[in-house]
Every structure is written in C-alpha cells, then in structure tokens.
Chain A
Amino acid sequence: MKHLLRQTFRSGKFLVGFVIFMTILLTVLIYPLFVKDPPLGIISRGTFLAPGIYVNVYDSMNSSPRYTLILEGAASRRVAGKLGDDDRQAMQEWLVAKGVPEDSIDIADTAGLIALWESNFDPSLRLPGMTNADRNYYIRLTASLEGLLATEDAVVAAANPETGALEEIGVITQTDYVNVGEVPNSRLFVLGTDNFGRDVLTELVSATGVSLIIGFVAGIVATTIGLILGLVSGYIGGLVDDIIVFITNLFTVIPTFVLLILISFSIGQEQRGAFTIAVVIGVTSWVWTTRAVRAQVVSLRNRDHVNLSKLSGHSVAYILAMDILPYIASYVVMALILQISSAILAEAGLSILGLGPRTTEVPTLGLMMRWGLIYQAHVLNYWWAIFPVILVIALITFSLNLMNTGLDQVFNPALRE
C-alpha cells in the first residue's frame, strides 16, 4: 500500500493534478479565515464594478497627512484619463460630420480640440446615422470636458449646520497625494463585483467550496450505488445479474441529463437545495461505476482465494468486503474521481438551465455562471464576473482528470508508454 502510494506520487500527471486540486481546496478552506464577509453580502450599489482598489473619496479628501509629489506628466495623464483616444476619435467624427474640415482638427492637441469642440458642439443637432445612445454619449463627454484643463486648486467646502452657508474647510492642489494605506476606508476587489454588487472573489471561493461538496456528495452517492449494484450483479450472477445488467444497459442509452432535468424540474424551485441537487445528480449517474465494478468482479469471482473463502464458509458480505473489494478499490477510486468532476459540470449545466439549487442560500459555480449569463456579463465584457468561474471549473475537471490518468497508469502498467 505504501509502495503504491509512493508510486502514485511519482507519476507526473497525478502530481500536477494533485497540486492543482489541493491548491483549490486549500484556498477554499483558508480564504474564509482571512475574509470574513458573507459570500452573498451585497456590497456595492452599482453592478459589475471592475476589479481594482476602491478608495473612499471622503476619507482621502480629509486624510492628513497629505503629501506633495511632483510627478512628471501628471497633468497629461489626468487629461488622458478623462479624454481617451477613442473619445478624441469620436469628437473628430462628430466635427467632420458637422462640416468642420478634417485637416483643421488635430486630435493630439488637447487644448485646440476642446476649443474647437466647445465652439461647434450642439447637443440638439441630429447628425445622420447618429443613434440616441451616440447622442447621450456626446452629451456626457461634453460634461466631462468641463474644467479638464483647469490648473487651479479645488476648494473643499462644507455646509455650516447653523447658517447653511458653505464654508471652506480645505484646499486640494493638483499635486496633493494621500497614501492609500493611511486612508481608513479602502476595499480591494480582486475580481470586481457581480450583477448584485457582491464581491466576486469571495463569492467564487465560497461557490467553489459548495460545488466541490456537491461533487463529493454526488460522487459518493453514485459510487455507492454503482459499487453495490456492481458487486451484487457480478458476484451473485443469475437472474439478479440479468436484471441489473438490463437496467444498466438501459441507462447507458437513455441520456441521464434528461432524467436530471425532469427530476429537478419536478422537485420545484423551493425544494431544490444544493444537497438535494447533489443527491439527484448522484442517483442518475451510477451507470458507469456499475459496469466497471461488475466487469472486475466477474473476472475475480472464480479466483482461487475467493473459492477458498467460499469453502471456508464465509458469508457473501464477508467475501465481497475482504476478498473482492480490495482488488477493485483502485477502480472505485478512479470512478469516484470522474464522478466528482462530471457532477460539478452537471450542476453547472443544470443551473444555467435554471434548474440548479435555489439561489438565496449558497452560491455555486453553476449559479454564478447563470447570473453572469442572465445579466449579459459576457456580452458586456464584464470578464471578471464570468471567466474566473469558467477557469475554476476547467481547473477542477482538469486536475481531477489528470489525477485519474496518473492513477490509471500506476494501476494498469500496460498503459505506460
């Protein structure tokens, strides 16, 4: 046993798969120790905030100390941040469409462009081919140009609670900086927020955990059913065997996902917890384990040690557990690994169809996919709400498949090249 274990870890494929899987598993276990936010807590008002560090504006305005940094190009970066190349291009298009000669527009010259824009732009003018969305865009753009080139300091004022008059409480110059670490309120969104304004990373870690549990539960249910049916069918034989083989063959052909859909739909949204879904997936996917176990048992049934055990008067249960199970244990483990990965995929597919676990309690990878898709995150290019989920699913299945291949090579030396 020890030898086999050592050999398993010497298989490169198994090792890579194992490392990836353990990394995912450890992240799921350790992350909540550091980030204690509820995974489904809604933090942002807006949806799909992009990944980044969010710094409290009020705090940074009032932050003391404030530092003065003289950085080259700060002004032009400030301009570029508000007036990007796309915007300049769009302004040129508008101006040309209005009749301004193209050679008189230099989009690299910010001041000249803004001057030209301010003298020509008319929000009420409808140019041919311009949609409402385009018009709104130009109006927004014009508003953002306001004070773009200003070099004066900004004055911070607060309303006097008694008189209601504005009183100056501070001046912010363009060279003022605060240290993000000293601002009491800032928040890092590694993967932004989702359509509900939840932190995607926290939700993803929790969803990965739930999906893994679904995988394990479904895998164990399927493997247990498959193992029992396979053992009984292979060892006892006769009519029992015929019946089990018949049923197994039936469900090899009849697509199991159809059963999954029918059952999940029939259970109804309210009854569908993550655990229920896991059990349903497990109950519909034992076929391959049964086949594999039965084939092994049939080949073991007449081995000498089994016959000896029979002659010694051991019970069927004893023989199955002591004389047959050890020989098929490796197959069962491999089948379990495959079941886990296919169960995680099945949950995702079901959830996308709207038949996954009910949404209010726990996140799952499938539910994250579902909401991302419903809110069009993929079409609107909010990659952080959907790609990390796909990546995690792919990594889980990839690592499990690699471990499985590695095990296969250890247990079936004929496959080694």
Chain B
Amino acid sequence: MKGYRDYFLRKLGWFAITVVVAFILNFTLPRLMPGDPVAAIVARMAQGMSNATGVQAVYEQYTELFATDRPIPEQFFIYIRNVLNGDFGYSISQYPRTVGEVINASVWWTIALQFPAIIVGWILGNTLGAMAAYLRKGFDRVLLPVSLFLSNIPPFGMAVILLVIFAVNLKWLPTSGGYRFDMVPNSSWEFVWSVIVHYQLPFWSIVLITIGGQAIGMRSMAIYELNADYVKYARFLGIKDSKIIRYVFRNAMLPQITGLALSIGTMVFGAVVAEIIFNYPGIGSTMLTAVLGGDYPLISAATLIITFMVLIAFFALEIIYGLIDPRIKAAQSE
C-alpha cells in the first residue's frame, strides 16, 4: 500500500500546485490585458449605467472587496481571502444579487448535468468501442463511420440538431430552460417531472458527443490489445476466450481513463456551450449573461469555479486510475 500512498501524495501535491496557479492566473490575466476590466468597471462609473444606485453600490463594494486602491500584491492576498470566504461581491448584470448567489444557483445545475452525462457517455462509448473491436464485421462497419461522424459534429451542433429534431419538429421535449418557465423551483412532483423532462435533451446531447470520441478510442485500444502477445499466450494455455476478452477490455479501458482525464477540460467547454443552446440554467448560461452584461466579477468567479471542477475531476480520475491499474502501485514501490 505504500506505493499507492506515494502516488496519492504526489498527485495531491500536484493538485495543490495547479489550484494555486489557477488562482494566480485568474487574478492576473485580466489585469495584464490592455482593457483591464477592473479599471473598466471603475471607468464605467463615470458614464452612468442603467441602474444608478446599483452601480454606486457595486462600485463601493468593489473598491472595498478588491481593494483596487492598494498595490497589486496586496490585492492578490485580499482576493484570495475573499475567494476562500466565497465572497465575490455584487454581480453587475444581476444586481442586487451577489456573485456568490448567482454562481450557487447555477453551478449545481451544471454539475448535475455534466457529471452524469460525461460518465454515461464514457461508459456507453467504451462498451460500443469494445464491441466493435471484438465483433468486427457488420457491427464495426456500422459503428465506426457513425462514431467518426458523431465525434466530428461540434458539441453545440449536436445540441442544435437534437433540439430541432426532438423539440421543434417532434415536439416531444421542451426547447429550453431547466424547468417550465412559469414554475418556481419547489419540491412538488410536478416540478421534479418538469426538471426531468427539460434534462433530457441537454443530457443526451452531451452523452452523444462523448460517445463518438470514446468509442473510437476504445476500439483502437481494444484492437491493439487483442493483438497483444499475452492474448495469444493465454489462448495457447487453454484459457477460454470469454476470460481473455475480460483481460483485453480491462487493459484497454485503463488508458481510456487517462484519456478521459486529459480531455475533460475540452469536454466541459463543449458542454458549457451546449448549455447555452438549451438555455439551461447552468454555469454556461450564467457566463453568457455575464459576458453580455460586461459583468467582470461574475465571469471571474464562473471561470474559477469551472477550473476547480475540472481540476477536481482530473484529480479524482487520477486517483481512481491509480487504484485500478496495478502497474501504478508496482512502479511506485520499486
């Protein structure tokens, strides 16, 4: 177990470093740009925005919260302190709500949508890819072009296609939102049902996008493994094919976990954009309103929270990988 502990600690250390760097980037990048949004917010005060009292309140709070009158290094530590307290100030576009409230209201929708969708897509994609590799012939001949096609449709394109087919033309499912627009979130069955119905299209569009790429990856991994020397050897020692297939798929699946970890960032981006198409009340739509409203505090908090989600997912996958692949433990204990 010592091998695994070392692995775990190393990954944890790496996780901590990436979190710190994410903080630094999130803080410094906007301040390095020519159109520094922090300065822009202050500048906008003079021009007078739509909500005059709101603007004043945002401005005052902003100056205090981000200490824009202090030197940059000090600002950074104040920023860290505020983030750790979950305090991001008022949202400019959705005043008088605070950024914390806006994020809190949307991030759970995103987690509830993307986490299951990516997992389901990964499982389905790998199963199909494994079947294609093992069965070859007819199944493979259908599955490979279909997966190639699926994996080349941009994520937002898949969302639009599903929306037009199932919501606009067949009218089976609603076109947008996370629940019916005339409802207020509550715990009634009616509301839950509405949420489930609205969940389907965004969910399946993310699943479908994930399936394509995963199926192709798994197929080639499994074909590679099926031709591996250990397969031939196990066969010649009289081991049943059904058992050998289990070796093969287990071994082919392992790199797929790493693959998922490495592509999780891109996947989340695709899913965030897909959310916008469905007007889903998640972090994607929040970012869109933030962009449209020039809402810097909200954008900054939203990108930070997404970075966290991706980093945690990456870390979790590496931990799982370390648990499943015996080679990790073995390599560490040498």
Contacts and interface: CB of A to CB of B under 8 A. Distances in A.
Contacts of A345: 154
Contacts of A263: 29, 33
B299 interface: yes
Chain B contact residues: over half helix, strand or loop, or mixed?
helix
A378 B169 CA distance: 10
**Size class of B's contact patch?**
35 or more
A4 interface: no
Interface in B1-56: 14, 17-18, 21-22, 25-26, 29-30, 32-37, 40
Interface in A374-417: 378-381, 383, 386-387, 390, 393-394, 397-398, 401, 417
B311 A254 contact: yes
Nearest to B35: A268
Contacts of A390: 153-154, 156-157, 160-161
A55 B306 CA distance: 52
B37 A349 contact: no
A256 B267 CA distance: 11
B306 A398 contact: no
A-side interface mostly: helix
A349 B156 contact: yes
Given A257-B266, A378-B168, A262 B299 contact: yes
A352 B273 contact: yes
A369 B276 CA distance: 12
A369 B156 contact: yes
Nearest to A414: B224
A108 to B, nearest CB: 26
Interface residues of A, number: 43
B273 A379 contact: no
Contacts of A261: 287, 299, 303
B33 A259 contact: no
Contacts of B277: 352, 373, 378
Contacts of B287: 261, 353
A287 to B, nearest CB: 10
Contacts of B314: 253
Contact of B269 (A255, A265, A267, A383): A255
Interface string A266-307: 111011000000000000000000000000000000000000
A253 B154 contact: no
Nearest to A271: B35
Interface in B142-184: 148-149, 152-157, 160-161, 163-164, 167-169, 175-176
A254 B18 contact: yes
Interface string B279-321: 0000010011001100010011001001100110010000000
Given A262-B30, A355-B291, A394-B154, A379 B310 contact: no
A349 B34 contact: no
A194 to B, nearest CB: 15
A386 B160 contact: yes
A119 B230 CA distance: 86
Contact of A266 (B29, B153, B292): B29
Nearest to B168: A381
A353 B223 contact: no
Contact of A265 (B18, B152, B296): B296
Given A258-B303, A270-B35, A394-B152, 8 more contacts: A254-B265, A255-B265, A255-B307, A257-B265, A262-B299, A345-B154, A349-B273, A378-B164
Interface of B: 14, 17-18, 21-22, 25-26, 29-30, 32-37, 40, 148-149, 152-157, 160-161, 163-164, 167-169, 175-176, 223, 262, 264-266, 268-270, 273, 276-277, 284, 287-288, 291-292, 296, 299-300, 303, 306-307, 310-311, 314
11 contacts: A258-B310, A265-B30, A266-B30, A342-B266, A353-B291, A378-B168, A383-B164, A390-B160, A390-B161, A394-B152, A397-B154
